[in-house]
Amino acid sequence: MIRVLQAAPGVEVGRLPTGPDADGPPGSVEGWDVLAVDTVDAASRPLVEEACALGLPVVVGADLPVRFTPAPDATIVSGAASGAGLAAALAISMLPPSAEPLKARLAWTVAGRPLRAGRAVTFPEPVGSLWAGWGENPLPWPDVACCPAPTDSPWKAVRVDLEFHGAEGGGSLVHGVSDEGRFLDAVCFGSAILAAARGAYPRGAGGPGDPDGAFVRLAREAGMQVARFVAA
């Protein structure tokens, strides 16, 4: 993730130790442009609250804890390093301008024991086909089927099936990503931080997908490959 950030010009990366081996308080985020944390936990929460109070965007790699309620005027991007976040962001970026989504299916891999039954999802190789379960919809769209697919592979993948209609008629697209898990997490986390630094996210809590597709564009610039599925 640091490499992704260092590849962008004009980015200065600082670290505030918050772990149990840190000496003293973690310091202040005053004067920074973005705060990024892996998770919102007891150690990072004071920094997150300070950043929200200062109006800085906060990017969280994991999902927000259930009991954490951010201030309504804060900008918080959660799930920045998650398959669900990437799938939702990819779906937003796939939707043509002025088109409306009709139906979507988001599928992503999660770490775990592969299922023996469920909904079959064909991801790009080398992940291939997996059984998926049922997940929560990370998009504010109706009629979205969400399919988390457990895998014990170090590779991660997402797949988005999208049907839409617009002024120029309707259409359907199937896009997917498959890459080494740690690389994909780092690229997504770093890209969400850069997108936040460039003001891509509106106020409120949401995923890494932004209306202008800056997150996906930055991730592709950082090396994420997107593929298109063509049915036989």
Partner 1 sequence: MKFRTLLAVALLATAAAAITSWRLRASAYTKPPTTPGTWHPIVRHQ
Q: Is 196 in a helix, a strand, or coil?
A: helix
Q: Is 163 in the site for partner 1 (CB under 8 A)?
A: no
Q: Is 228 in the site for partner 1 (CB under 8 A)?
A: yes
DSSP 130-174: EEE------SS-SSEEEEEEEE-SSEEEEEEEEEEEETTEEEEEE
Contacts (Cβ under 8 Å, ≥6 apart) of 2:
13, 190
Q: Which of 34, 47, 121, 200 binds partner 1 (CB under 8 A)?
A: 121
In the bound state with partner 1, the residue whose beta carbon lies nearer, of 7 and 71, is: 7
Q: Is 46 in the site for partner 1 (CB under 8 A)?
A: no
Shortest CB 64 distance to partner 1, Å: 31
Fill in the amino acid letter for 229: F
Q: Which of 41, 125, 143, 180 binds partner 1 (CB under 8 A)?
A: 125
Contacts (Cβ under 8 Å, ≥6 apart) of 46:
25, 26
Q: Which region, judged by CB under 8 A, interacts with partner 1, from 48-56, 95-103, 114-122, 181-189?
A: 114-122
Shortest CB 129 distance to partner 1, Å: 4
Paired tokens of 195: 């997108």
Asked whether the beta carbons of 176 and 121 are under 8 A apart, the reply is no
In the bound state with partner 1, the residue whose beta carbon lies nearer, of 198 and 220, is: 220
CA distances to 78, 80, 95, 210 from 205, rounded to whole Å, are 7, 12, 21, 12
Q: Which of 79, 101, 124, 209 binds partner 1 (CB under 8 A)?
A: 124
Q: Is 148 in the site for partner 1 (CB under 8 A)?
A: no
In the bound state with partner 1, the residue whose beta carbon lies nearer, of 123 and 164, is: 123
Q: Which residues here bind partner 1, judged by CB under 8 A? A: 114, 116-118, 120-122, 124-125, 128-131, 175-176, 220-221, 225-232
